[in-house]
A = this chain, B = another copy of it.
Amino acid sequence: MKYIEKLRNSGLRPTKQRLQICEVLFNTDKTFHFTINELEQKIKKQANNKISLATLYNTVHAFEKKGYLKQIPINSSETYFDTNVTDHHHFYDLKEEKLIDLENSDVGPINILKKINGKKIKSVEVLVKLED
């Protein structure tokens, strides 16, 4: 299993559940966006078994802390996560409630001129809301 090392190197024991979550999240060409509940559904189908919500929350937050997932800043009833952890931006289709990646070349470089004393910039994210 290719995720055992990854988990061990992160100080996380490679449990059956975590490996399964890795498969669903990372064993794919395309990156994608998901909510915890969508992840739960996906695992039910794709792996044909169930992982408790508590574990899904725990694992997703652990992966986020390790930098394997990103949380997308958006006001929705559910939190969205992104398996694409590179710096990139998003469309948010308000009607469909769906996120779409924007390549950096679709937005161009953003140069923040203002500085706040004693603070470092951690991320710069653009959210483009779409309506019909």
Q: Interface on A for B, CB 8 Å cutoff? A: 71-75, 79, 91-94, 100, 102-103, 105-108, 110-114, 116, 118-132
Contact = CB atoms under 8 A, between A and B. Distances in A.
A71 B75 CA distance: 8
Contact of A130 (B73, B93, B116, B128): B116
Tally of this chain's copies: 2
Contacts of A72: 75
A106 to B, nearest CB: 4
Given A94-B122, A125-B126, A131-B119, A106 B113 contact: yes
Nearest to A121: B128
Contacts of A123: 127-129
